[in-house]
Amino acid sequence: MNATDQIDTDNELFLRVRDHNDVAAFRELYRRYHKRIFAYCVRIVGQEEGARDAFQNVFTAVYEQRQQFEPGEFSRWLFSIAKRQAQRVYTRTVADRVPAEVEELAIESMIDEDAVDSEDLQMASYVRRAVNELPSEFRDVIMLRYFEDLSYEDIATQLNISLSLAKVRVNRAKARLQSLLNLTPEDLS
């Protein structure tokens, strides 16, 4: 399976959404992308609540702008919308008292769809960089668990540690990564 198959399938699904309002196709695309889009919004906005705003706006915009989608790279189109929405929220929250025209100019300078160069791949490298920043004992378990796809039992065997310690270490490594990636859950109540 190569990347093209993935792109074609996403396209195919979204064309069903665009042309037939196909709910199942929409659900499948949402399932594939929603967490990555959320993480992407967090990365740009920098905090949970704003990221949630942006996230909602992304999928609303995807649906509302479906007629503008032209067969191509769905992922690129989706991330370009995410970029625009997240940066809009960011500008609103951070540049709180910037006069409207300045704010608009700031938004304009960020809405550059041509500059959205494979954000999906950038997210992967963003995650990789965070993994590389982990202390070695955490990095090792993450690499074994996610990049080599080993079970907890295999990780325990390979590192010569107990099964429970393997699980604890993976959980701690994930908590550290959440912190590095601003993904630590916040209390929004």
Contacting residues toward other proteins, per CB under 8 A: 1, 5-6, 9, 18-21, 23, 26-28, 30, 32, 34-36, 38-39, 52-53, 55-57, 59-60, 63-68, 92, 97, 99-105, 108, 111-113, 123-124, 127-128, 131, 142, 146-147, 149, 174, 177-178, 181, 183, 185, 188
Pick the closer one to other proteins by CB: 63 or 164. Answer: 63
- C-beta of 98 vs 161, nearer to other proteins: 98
Burial of 98 (0-12, 13-18, 19+ CB in 10 A): middle
Please identify, using beta-carbon distances, which residue of 167 and 174 lies nearer to other proteins: 174
DSSP code at position 112: -
Gap between the Cα atoms of 26 and 109, Å rounded: 31
Q: How far is the CB of 44 from other proteins (least distance, A)?
A: 15
Q: How far is CA 61 from CA 8, 43, 65, 67, 84, in A?
A: 21, 19, 6, 11, 10
Secondary structure class of 1 (helix, strand, coil):
coil
Q: Where are the alpha helices (DSSP H) in the chain?
A: 3-20, 23-45, 48-64, 74-94, 100-110, 119-133, 136-142, 152-159, 163-180
Q: State in angstroms the smallest separation of the CB of 20 from other proteins.
A: 5
**Amino acid letter, 5:** D
Nearer to other proteins, 94 or 124 (CB): 124
Our measurement of the distance from residue 5's CA atom to the centroid of its chain's CA atoms, rounded to an integer in Å, reads: 21
Shorter beta-carbon distance to other proteins: residue 165 or 182: 182
Nearer to other proteins, 5 or 117 (CB): 5
